[in-house]
């Protein structure tokens, strides 16, 4: 691989009790989530792909569990589908809650710690009809749902993740307009972002009220912003973007995190100047890219972890992965990211876990099934899961609790 700073050959051992895991989300794997806003947008063609049966994981949890066991993970991050649980406003489905309860109990029986996400991009239709995250009442609606599930599932869940990537959701849904409700307004972006802040605080408090000794946080997408060459103006702009995109949410909610949850995928070099006013972002050169066109930059994980450490709380990497259908980049991707993560630990970061995105090829939102992030491939007709070579590489890393010199 070319184009990024390789850390070189070294042996990396991870701390004892380090959580090795994989991450998924409900709409991306469960299938037939007919009661949420994504499904609605898929049917009315506001987004170009349909999730249909996804990986059929709602009916095939036993197959997913078998894979998790084979991989040897100590943790599994997945999300609850709000639209299955609160089918209409204030009406909760016993069947859905039993389903998730059963899933959590089975994970525990197999010594796999469940890390439960409460919101991963999708909303019940009743909620979006009431204005979704634009509504001032949205944090209250979210709190009612969180109160219900944390009472129902609380006995078996220690780690709660309230919201997945609030900034990605707000940008994609309210600025880019690619995701439902497909709007383009900086004003709404602001409104939604502040409602997420209020919703997270409320969720944090209610989960803790229902059970004290649990740990609550979010999964925040962090981009490594870096300056193009050693230019003063670019450096200032990079610091500003870092604050707005990576730092602001945490600053506004600082007391409401028991850990710092980070998803890392992207590096963004800023070249700020008056001669290129519309072209400041993504001046990455000589880059190795994934099928998605995203630069592969493992050293960025080191930087975002070191920045995150400033909050003086345990850090979890809740997502890191690559769209790579041929599986020819993923092995090196995993190894190099883990080496840089290990270096961050050596340099003092208190990192407690790493979750690879993802266990399976799944519904990649606006890109549908074209982007393949899975350690295991999924046959779109039979739903048969077939582990890729990198699945076995990751299994060996987990078994060794680190990487050997190779």
Residues at the contact surface with ligand BGC, assessed by CB under 6 A: 25, 28, 164-165, 168, 221, 263, 319, 357, 364, 373
Cβ within 8 Å of residue 94, ≥6 positions away? none
Q: How far apart are CA 143 and CA 134, in angstroms?
A: 16
Between 12 and 193, whose beta carbon lies closer to ligand BGC? 193
Between 166 and 387, whose beta carbon lies closer to ligand BGC? 166
Query: In whole angstroms, how close is the CB of 47 to ligand BGC at the nearest point?
Result: 14
Query: In whole angstroms, how close is the CB of 159 to ligand BGC at the nearest point?
Result: 17
Between 86 and 319, whose beta carbon lies closer to ligand BGC? 319
Q: What does each C-alpha distance from 153 to 105, 163, 339 come to in angstroms?
A: 10, 17, 36
Query: In whole angstroms, how close is the CB of 371 to ligand BGC at the nearest point?
Result: 7
Between 160 and 373, whose beta carbon lies closer to ligand BGC? 373
Query: In whole angstroms, how close is the CB of 119 to ligand BGC at the nearest point?
Result: 11
Between 168 and 403, whose beta carbon lies closer to ligand BGC? 168
Between 163 and 237, whose beta carbon lies closer to ligand BGC? 163
Between 36 and 263, whose beta carbon lies closer to ligand BGC? 263
Query: In whole angstroms, how close is the CB of 386 to ligand BGC at the nearest point?
Result: 20
Query: In whole angstroms, how close is the CB of 319 to ligand BGC at the nearest point?
Result: 6
Between 256 and 318, whose beta carbon lies closer to ligand BGC? 318
Residue 75 backbone zone (phi > 0: left; psi -120 to 50: alpha; other: beta): beta
Query: In whole angstroms, how close is the CB of 210 to ligand BGC at the nearest point?
Result: 26
Query: In whole angstroms, how close is the CB of 38 to ligand BGC at the nearest point?
Result: 11
Contact between 26 and 78 under an 8 Å Cβ cutoff? The reply is yes
């Amino acid at each position: 691989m070319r184009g990024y700073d390789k850390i070189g050959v070294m042996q990396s051992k991870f701390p004892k009790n380090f959580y090795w895991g994989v991450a998924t989300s409900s709409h991306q794997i469960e299938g037939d989530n007919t009661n949420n806003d994504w499904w609605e947008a898929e049917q009315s063609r506001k987004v170009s792909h349909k999730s249909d049966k996804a990986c059929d994981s709602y009916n095939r949890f036993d197959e997913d569990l078998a894979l998790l066991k084979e991989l040897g993970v100590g943790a599994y991050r997945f999300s609850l589908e709000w639209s299955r649980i609160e089918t209409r406003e204030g009406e909760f489905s016993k069947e859905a809650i039993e389903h998730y309860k059963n899933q959590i109990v089975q994970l525990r029986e197999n010594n796999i710690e469940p890390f439960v996400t409460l919101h991963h991009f999708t909303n019940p239709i009743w909620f979006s009809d009431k204005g979704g995250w634009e509504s001032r009442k949205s944090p209250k609606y979210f709190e009612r749902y969180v109160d219900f599930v944390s009472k129902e599932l609380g006995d078996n869940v220690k780690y709660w993740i309230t919201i997945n990537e609030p900034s990605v959701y707000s940008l994609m849904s309210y600025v880019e307009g690619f995701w439902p409700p497909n709007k383009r307004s900086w004003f709404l972006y602001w409104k939604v972002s502040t409602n997420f802040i209020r919703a997270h605080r409320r969720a944090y408090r209610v989960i803790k009220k229902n059970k004290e000794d649990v740990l609550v946080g979010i999964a925040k997408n962090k981009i490594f912003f870096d300056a193009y060459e050693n230019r003063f103006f670019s450096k200032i702009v990079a610091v500003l973007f870092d604050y707005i995109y990576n730092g602001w949410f945490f600053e506004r909610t600082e007391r409401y995190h028991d850990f710092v949850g980070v998803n890392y995928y992207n590096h963004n070099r800023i070249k700020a100047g008056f001669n290129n006013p519309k072209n400041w972002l993504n001046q990455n050169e000589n880059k190795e890219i994934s099928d998605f066109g995203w630069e592969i930059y493992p050293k960025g994980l080191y930087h975002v972890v070191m920045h995150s450490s400033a909050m003086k709380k345990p850090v979890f990497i809740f997502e890191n992965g690559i769209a790579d259908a041929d599986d020819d980049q993923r092995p090196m991707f995993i190894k190099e990211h883990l080496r840089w993560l290990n270096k961050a630990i050596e340099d003092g970061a208190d990192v407690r876990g790493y979750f690879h995105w993802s266990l399976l090829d799944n519904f990649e939102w606006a890109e549908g099934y074209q982007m393949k992030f899975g350690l295991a491939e999924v046959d779109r007709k039979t739903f048969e899961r077939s582990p890729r070579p990198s699945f076995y590489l990751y299994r060996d890393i987990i078994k060794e609790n680190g990487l050997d010199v190779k």
